[in-house]
Amino acid sequence: MVRCTYLLSHKASLKLRQARCLDFLRARSQIVNTLRRYTDDRPAIILGIETSCDDTGCGIVDTTGKVLGEAINSQNSIHLKCGGIIPTIANEIHRQNITTVCENALRAAGLRLRDIDAIATTTKPGLLNSLHVGNTFGKYLSRVGNKPYIPIHHMEAHALTVRMVQKVDFPFLVLLISGGHSLLAIADSVDKFYLLGTTTDNAPGEVLDKIARRLKLVNIPEFSHMCGGQAIESAASKATDPKKFELPSFMARRRNCQFSFAGMWSTVNQYIANQEKELQIDANKVIPDAYNLCASLQWSMAKQICSRTQRAMAFIDKKNLIPQEKRTLVISGGVACNDFFAKALEIVCSEMDFRFVRTPRRLCNDNGVMIAWNGAERWRTNAGVIRDRSEIEAVTIEKKVPLGENWTEKVEFANVKCTMVKLNALMTH
């Protein structure tokens, strides 16, 4: 009995010594990392994890903007077959692939976890189950590697990605258009934004995807591998009469920067239903006017995006919010890949004397590089970098989070008047 008690006591003592030793090693590692941060001239290296929706991404970037390695697992083909993103399926695919994706990114960079200075992870906004996978894995890497943790706001990352590849100084106007968002904001610093307008209902990418499905564009071999937005843009380029369908000028008379695309969705749906009924279209066939309808939708959407953006520019001018030499419009998000929208916005920028900057296509869609870069920007300014282990473990995810301080009422109250820039030249291209 005495020997048994001694053994138990010895084991407990051993565990205590091991725990103290581990605490000492972690503390020493933190001190070394902190000293290295302030004394080492080499750029810090940030590993970023993105799982806010349906793509599992990992990027490794240093604080100079150099991309060291990246990897991504796209779920696009799977969700195309499902007719849209199924959150439970997205969650399971993230779980299955996140380890491999991060290992591939490290391998591409020729690095190990010990070479990384901090882990940055999307924690808001997005699909909760998807965010949970990334946050859990990110905190795991932070824990086993004893690395600082940087929670990232997905939309802030989109807004600042362009600064990795081009010189864009604060403050600047940013337009984010994607499958989940449509917003205009002033980016004042790495962690300070002023929201001028956002969508009151459906995001543009969501509407494009749903209309592409309703038109059954996936049944046309040429578009079968494309997401909805790509299919709509490609189909619109083949239109013979791009203005055949008249869609109302939604939000045109509202003196604010808010977006609304639900009306377009319902109007286009009605056109499709009418043609299917009149022409007795088979369930798997596409209506004859599909290409013209896509062009009309794209034209109507472009007009709204441009009118809202122009009003934001007019508000900025009226309030002298951005110096003349820094007046820049940055566009990002998946829908920013649309060339028709980009050309329309270029016309507006030219008329309003704003520099036009589009985030590179490969970085417009969700990816790990943009998260790593946002982490790098925060590392350089020490904004939101968490080093305390208990604080890291307490980091949570959020489904819906606004971007920055809400100025939408300020814009409305300003009652800015402006003559809208004509976009007719677009239709001759």
The CATH number of the domain holding residue 241 is 3.30.420.40
Q: Is residue 203 part of a domain?
A: yes
Query: 172 in helix, strand or coil?
Result: strand
Residues 124, 254 within the same domain: no
Residues 104, 230 within the same domain: no
| Beta carbons within 10 angstroms of residue 22's beta carbon | 11
pLDDT tens over the chain, length 429 residues? 434 443 445 455 555 565 565 555 455 555 545 555 544 579 999 999 999 988 999 999 999 999 999 999 987 666 566 666 778 888 899 999 999 999 999 999 999 999 999 999 999 999 999 999 999 999 999 999 999 999 999 999 999 999 999 999 999 999 999 988 899 999 999 999 999 999 999 999 999 999 999 999 999 999 988 989 999 999 999 999 988 888 877 777 788 999 999 999 999 999 999 999 998 888 788 999 999 999 999 999 999 999 999 999 999 999 999 999 999 999 999 999 999 999 999 999 999 999 999 999 999 999 999 999 999 999 999 999 999 999 999 999 999 999 999 999 999 999 998 888 988 878 754
User: CA-to-CA distance for 140 and 119, rounded, in angstroms?
Assistant: 10
Residues 220, 291 within the same domain: yes
Residues 95, 239 within the same domain: no
Q: Taking the C-alpha atoms of 367, 383, 327 and 181 in order, what is their torsion angle to the nearest 10 degrees?
A: 40
- Is the separation of the CB atoms in 371 and 48 below 8 Å? yes
Q: Give the strand pairing for 45-50 and 56-62.
A: antiparallel
Residues 143, 185 within the same domain: no
pTM, entire model: 0.87
Residues 86, 183 within the same domain: no
Alpha-carbon separation of residue 99 from 18, 107, 131, 353, 367 (angstroms):
29, 12, 15, 47, 15
> Could you list the residue range(s) of the whole structural domain that residue 148 is in?
45-165+365-398
Residues 81, 110 within the same domain: yes
Q: Is residue 14 part of a domain?
A: no
User: CA-to-CA distance for 308 and 185, rounded, in angstroms?
Assistant: 11
Our count of domains for the chain comes to 2
Residues 279, 338 within the same domain: yes
Q: Is residue 30 part of a domain?
A: no
Q: Is residue 381 part of a domain?
A: yes
SS (H, E, C) 1-28: CHHHHHHHHHHHHHHHHHHHHHHHHHHH
Residues 350, 384 within the same domain: no
Q: Is residue 106 part of a domain?
A: yes
Q: Is residue 215 part of a domain?
A: yes
Residues 220, 97 within the same domain: no
Residues 142, 231 within the same domain: no
Q: Is residue 97 part of a domain?
A: yes
User: CA-to-CA distance for 104 and 310, rounded, in angstroms?
Assistant: 43
Q: Residue type for 404, please?
A: G
User: CA-to-CA distance for 194 and 219, rounded, in angstroms?
Assistant: 43
Residues 315, 414 within the same domain: yes
> Which two three-digit tokens encode residue 411?
């814009």
Q: Is residue 96 part of a domain?
A: yes
User: CA-to-CA distance for 166 and 228, rounded, in angstroms?
Assistant: 29
